[in-house]
Amino acid sequence: MQLTYVLELLKPTKRKENIFLNNIAEVVKNRQAVAAKLKAGETKLSSADFKELNLPSAVKNQNIREVKALYKLFLKSGSEKDNIDFKDNQPICYNNQNYNIDHHIISIPLYTTKCQRFAFPVKQTERFEKLQQHIDSGCKLGKASLFYKRGKWYFAVTIKIAAKKTSNSNLMGIDIGLRQLAVASVKNPQGKEINRQFHNGKQAGFIRKKYRMLRRKLGQSKKVKAIKNINDKEQRWMTDLNHKISRQLINLAVQEQVGTIIMENLENIRNTANSLNRADRNIHSWTFYQLQHFVEYKAELAGIKVEYINPKYTSQSCSKCNKIKKSNRKTNLYSCECGNHIHSDLNASRNIANKYLEQQSA
């Protein structure tokens, strides 16, 4: 599998920062030129086709590969735009043969009056130490990119690692929602629950409501830039929360020797989910898919398989007697005539695990 490590560079000198910015400006021109040639039907491109641009040949060739991939997606999308748009802050991309990591020093080719290699130190964080461990163990480096974000410079490195495999037979069903961001039910192969975990969504609902009110006030004042900053801040907060939740879920899975995690296929969640007291009218702001993605890649690192099931009736069925009755679920309580009275989201997570067990035994 492939991982990406985003490393923060120590603050460069003004001279080096200007070199970065000049190269980024050339990257934008290069990508626009590649897109124009692709539109004109020219597909066999090389760095020699862009001699007028002040960039290392390695960067030009990587730009060609990147833009070709983007252009295919652009054509598939059926967009009415004339061609791909490139923002001013494009990353400078490299393949694995054109950069070097030597302890905490990264060296890359850049263009000044000629092509030169420049060395930059990175902050020695826990993230960097993990990357270094992978490198020391012989993992293969992939492509990388230099980019600027919110006043800081970063170097993103991809690395290929061998996925672990586990023979554990316990299961974990995870129900994802708004009132409870995630509820997990851990079961053995016989269907007996051996542990559970809840992640309440009240704080996330409060944060979404807070930022929505701020956006409304800023919108009335027509402060577009401030609204964008608010959106970025909210997204960073939610991403951090999703990382923490997914880490706790995987820690529980490892602790309980889980071999398979089961979640719902949430393709239609944006049309069916309702937030607490309609606090979040814009379901698109909620990060269901991101949380599932974080759980999936962290599970893969731990050697745990992830499966998806059809969510039909998982919230309406009784996890004890399998009777389907919509009225049995009332907000946070699921109450069935068979005597099953439990939290509605725990009931759903049990059903998710049960549904998978039934599929396996069929």
Q: Whole-number mean pLDDT of the chain?
A: 89
Residue 285 has pLDDT above 60, yes or no: no
Residue 284 has pLDDT above 50, yes or no: no
Quick: pLDDT tens for 16-55.
999 999 999 999 999 999 999 999 999 999 999 999 999 9
Does this model's pTM top 0.75? My answer is: no
Provide the pLDDT for residue 141.
93
Quick: pLDDT tens for 176-215.
988 899 999 999 999 999 999 999 988 888 888 888 888 8
Residue 275 has pLDDT above 50, yes or no: no
Quick: pLDDT tens for 342-352.
999 999 999 99
Residue 278 has pLDDT above 60, yes or no: no
Could you give all domains of the chain from N- to C-terminal order, each with its CATH number? 2-160 (no CATH), 170-361 (3.30.420.140)
Provide the pLDDT for residue 286.
61
Q: Which residues pair with 264 in a beta bridge?
A: 309
Quick: pLDDT tens for 83-128.
999 998 899 999 999 999 988 899 999 998 889 999 999 998 988 9
